[in-house]
Amino acid sequence: MLRILALVGVISTVALFTFLLVFAFTGGNTRNPDELDQIGFADTADAICEQHQNAILALTPAQDVATPAERADVLDEANEILADMIAALRVDVEGRDVVDDLPDARSNSLSPADQAVVDAGTLSAEDKRNLDQWLRDHELYLADRQNHSMRLRDEGDVRFLVTAKGTSQVSEAVDGFARVNDMENCAVPLDL
Q: Are residues 80 and 163 in the same domain?
A: yes
Q: Across residues 47-51, what is the average pLDDT?
A: 98
The number of domains in the chain is: 2
pTM of the model: 0.78
Would you say residue 191 lies in a domain? Answer: no
Q: Are residues 16 and 86 in the same domain?
A: no
Q: Are residues 134 and 171 in the same domain?
A: yes
Q: Are strands 164-165 and 98-99 parallel, antiparallel or unpaired?
A: unpaired
- Inter-CA distances, 106 with 34, 78, 121, Å: 15, 36, 14
Q: Are residues 15 and 92 in the same domain?
A: no
Over residues 74-117, the pLDDT tens digits come to: 999 999 999 999 999 999 999 888 877 766 655 666 677 666 65
Q: Are residues 66 and 17 in the same domain?
A: no
Give the domain range for residue 17.
1-30
